[in-house]
Amino acid sequence: MAQDYQQLVVKSEPSFIALSNQNVNQFTLQQQLATIHIVISIFRVAMMNRIFVIQGMGKYVTFAD
């Protein structure tokens, strides 16, 4: 009985390791995607601010004219 159980554990171990590795890879991928998403949204906000600044400068230039 114990020997059968041991064989079963040995047989199922590689697939369990593969499964846990897959979960880890999936988690890191999700983390990377989240980080990229944050970076993109920060960049987008920065670009919008830059555009507002440029528009503001344009207004100042027109006022100066």
- Domains of the chain: which residue ranges? 6-59
Write the pLDDT tens digit of every residue in 34-64: 888 888 888 888 777 776 666 666 665 555 5
What's the CA gap between 53 and 58, in Å, rounded? 8
Instruction: State residue 36's pLDDT score.
Output: 83
Instruction: State residue 65's pLDDT score.
Output: 47
pLDDT at 2 over 60: yes
Q: C-alpha angle 25/28/32, rounded to 5°?
A: 135
Instruction: State residue 59's pLDDT score.
Output: 61
- Per the model's pLDDT, the better-predicted residue between 15 and 25 turns out to be 25
What's the CA gap between 3 and 8, in Å, rounded? 9
Tokens describing residue 12: 């199922």
